[in-house]
Amino acid sequence: MIVQDLLIPASTADTCRLSFFLGILLHITAFRRGEWHLYTLHLIAAIVIISGSATAALTILGPDNGKSVAGVAAAARAVATVLSTCVLGIFSSTLAYRAFLHRLGPFRGPFLARLSSLYMTFLSYKDFQLFDEVHKLHAQYGDIVRVGPCELSIADPKAHHLILSKQSRCIKGPWYDTNHPSTSVHTTRDPDDHDVRRRYWDKGLGSRALRDYEPRVQKYAQQLLQHVEASCGKPIDMSMWFLFYSFDVMGELALSKSFDMMRHGVLHDYVKSLHANVAVFGALRHVAWALPLYQTIPGLNRLYVKLHEWIVEQVHLRKERETEASDVFSCIAAGYEANGMNSALDVANFHDEVHLVIFAGSDTVGVSATNILFELARNPDIAAKLRRELNDYFAARETPDAPSLSKLAYLGACIDEGMRLYPVIPSGLQRVTPPEGLQLGKVYIPGGTIVHMPTYTVHRDERSFVHANEFIPERWTTRPELIKDASVFAPFGAGRYSCPGKQLGLMEMRHAISSIVHQYTIRLAPGQTEEGYLRGLRDLFTMAVPPLKLVFEKVDTGVV
């Protein structure tokens, strides 16, 4: 009789009311607590199983014992109605809690942002300039902005030590579970696991290893210079050629095999797939629960699967290929094998490490070098000053080398200033506050809150840098008064999670930029505007740059 009552509209209404309150109870007792982004597929499966089982039970136990289509349809409608009201209860309770009762209620920000992380996802997709959108939010709401139901963007320079320093008790946020269950040194959220893996990387990217890598970096820097020479007096897209340069270097160091993009002048399929995936992962960084859907749904996951299969294949080929030259791959592989690479998860983790070597060492260098040349092209006086330093340097030696290049103060200042204005990760890195929370001056930030410091905004804050929006390399050399707080400058990250490839990246940029600026003047090509380039910058978690058409003219002997 109870089963039959469910199929009667009046009784179904009572059941729906009960279901609605059950949804509220589920939110209060379960979904409001902890992290649920890894359970997206489980929850979908549970809904399918429950609805299917309930429909079958109602059909079989119904008045006609499941012998008619009408009975099945009635049962399905009843189950769908009850489940829908339960879900409605969950969402109603969630929205009410986030809007009026959440512990982050006192923090200001867009009202829609407190209701759903989809607000920030919308801003991410809007023009792919999330760094600028966040910059505007801080201008409107202040140092701390609530940008999600449980997420704060913090631009106060004093927060840098609390959130990102080695002493910070904050851990990495949910976004880092992008490839769960596999992880790399970058995506593991376990600090102890990170420290173990970091040792493999430090061995592969230490000073001794860099000495072995430098001849290969020099080789590709010379190839880049040859392409600049071939285009002398004509427009050349340097964002593309810096990309080719950085990926060819990292292909050599990660897999002992170049992508040969410098040779052929064509974007490799791997790089195309990589950038397409990065765009998706970057846009979904605030809705980590959506990532399992992207990775799992057939068709939707085509590029993700293609990228993964390519990495697996290349790791297999690299293991079969004997090479006398040292590379990052061999150092990381040795660390994994020493610890016993026995499980399928260990193998998957290693694949993630190799992918990280290529991506982290390539895009970041190419993007930063492009932005630096953009600033030198629109600041010819600064380029001339740098050329004078390089003239003195090259007059004393025939071939540049990493140790001596690292001592060139103005070259280093131009690189630092470029990375300050155009940080590689412009919207910052996601962290979660410790259970006891954080005390930022008079402001208490509750535990378990997702926080990030928007690097683009922090690096352009007058409290830390005078004339913060201007490209002034002298702030790092002869005009230290233009820096009020250097501690917030962390283009390669800070603390225990700082980039292990920092020195390799700097080596690549120093070799490429010094060789070009020493021999050529630089100007924007006809039709290439400053405004157009800046509007074309994209925030895909890492920064992406638009085409940058430059014209190079050979410097006559003695011309500076």
Greater model confidence, 415 or 338? 415
Q: What are phi and psi of 108, to 5 degrees?
A: -80, 155
Count of Cβ atoms closer than 10 Å to residue 347 Cβ: 15
Look up residue 455 and give its two tokens: 């690097």
Averaged confidence pLDDT in the chain: 93
Tokens of 462: 């007058």
- Per the DSSP assignment, residues forming a β-bridge with 153 are 145, 452
pLDDT at 558: 52
Q: How confident is the model at residue 61 (pLDDT cuts 50, 70, 90)?
A: confident
Q: Which amino acid is at 433?
A: T
Q: Does the annotation place 499 within a ligand binding site? A: yes
Round to whole Å and give the CA distance between 511 and 222: 9
Identify whether the C-beta of residue 198 lies closer than 8 Å to the C-beta of residue 186.
Answer: no
The whole-angstrom distance between residue 199's C-alpha and the CA centroid of its chain comes to 22
Pair of tokens at residue 510: 């120093």
What pLDDT is stored for residue 227 in this prediction? 97
Residue range 323-336: average pLDDT?
Answer: 88
67: pLDDT confidence band, cut at 50, 70 and 90? Answer: low
Please state, in angstroms and rounded to a whole number, the distance separating the CA atoms of residues 262 and 140: 45
Is residue 40 pLDDT above 50, yes or no? yes
pLDDT at residue 15, rounded to an integer = 84
- Distance in angstroms (rounded) separating the CA atoms of residues 461 and 457: 6
Q: Does the bond joining 181 to the residue before it have cis omega, within 30 degrees of 0?
A: yes
Percent of the chain with pLDDT over 90: 84
CB 499 within 8 A of CB 492: yes
Residues 460 and 419: their CA atoms lie apart, in Å, by 11
- DSSP assignment, residue 98? I
Contacts of residue 470, defined as CB under 8 A and 6 or more positions apart, other chains included, come to none
| 3-state SS, one letter per residue, for 48-83 | HHHHHHHHHHHHHHCCCCCCCHHHHHHHHHHHHHHH
163-554 CATH: 1.10.630.10
SS3 382: helix
State the Cα–Cα distance between residues 411 and 415, nearest whole angstrom: 6
pLDDT category at 489 given cuts 50, 70, 90 is very high
Burial label, 34 (beta-carbon count in 10 A; 0-12, 13-18, 19+): exposed
pLDDT digits (tens, 9 = 90+) for 176-230: 999 999 999 999 999 999 999 999 999 999 999 999 999 999 999 999 999 999 9
Predicted confidence (pLDDT) per residue in 396-411, tens digit:
998 899 999 999 999 9
Q: Where are the domains of the chain?
A: 2-101, 163-554
Segment 124-150, tens digit of pLDDT: 998 999 999 999 999 999 999 999 999
As to burial, measured by CB atoms within 10 angstroms (0-12 exposed, 13-18 middle, 19+ buried), residue 60 is middle
Cα dihedral sign, 409-411-414-418: negative
With a pLDDT cut of 70, the percent of the chain lying above it is 96
Cα–Cα distances (Å) from 489 to 322, 410, 433, 472, 482, in that order, read 41, 17, 21, 15, 13
- With vertex at residue 390, the alpha carbon angle to CA 385 and CA 392, rounded to the nearest 5 degrees, is 100
Distance CA 101, CA 345 (A): 41
pLDDT at 5: 53
> Could you tell me which of 395, 255, 273, 249 has the C-alpha nearest to residue 317?
255
Q: What is the pLDDT of residue 65?
A: 65
Judged by average pLDDT, the poorest of 387-391, 478-482, 489-493, 532-536 is 489-493
Q: Give the CA count within 13 Å in the CB-facing half-sphere of 96.
A: 9
How many angstroms separate the Cα of 300 from the Cα of each of 44, 293, 348?
A: 17, 8, 21
CA 449 – CA 103 distance, rounded (Å): 10
pLDDT at 557 over 50: no
Please state, in angstroms and as integers, the Cα–Cα distance from residue 273 to each residue in 278, 329, 332, 428, 506, following that order.
Answer: 9, 21, 24, 24, 26
- Alpha helices by DSSP H, listed for 339-429, are 344-378, 380-395, 402-405, 409-421
Other residues' Cβ atoms within 10 Å of the Cβ of residue 317: 12
Residue 9 pLDDT? 52
Measure the CA–CA gap between 65 and 485, rounded to whole angstroms. 76
91-130 confidence digits (pLDDT tens): 999 999 999 999 999 999 999 999 999 999 999 998 999 9
List, for residues 234-280, the tens digit of each pLDDT value.
999 999 999 999 999 999 999 999 999 999 999 999 999 999 999 89
Q: What is the pLDDT of residues 289-323, one digit of tens each?
A: 999 999 999 999 999 999 999 999 999 999 988 77
Cα separation, 509 vs 511, whole angstroms: 6
Which pLDDT score, from 0 to 100, does residue 287 have? 95
Which amino acid is it at 25? L
pLDDT at residue 66 in the model: 61
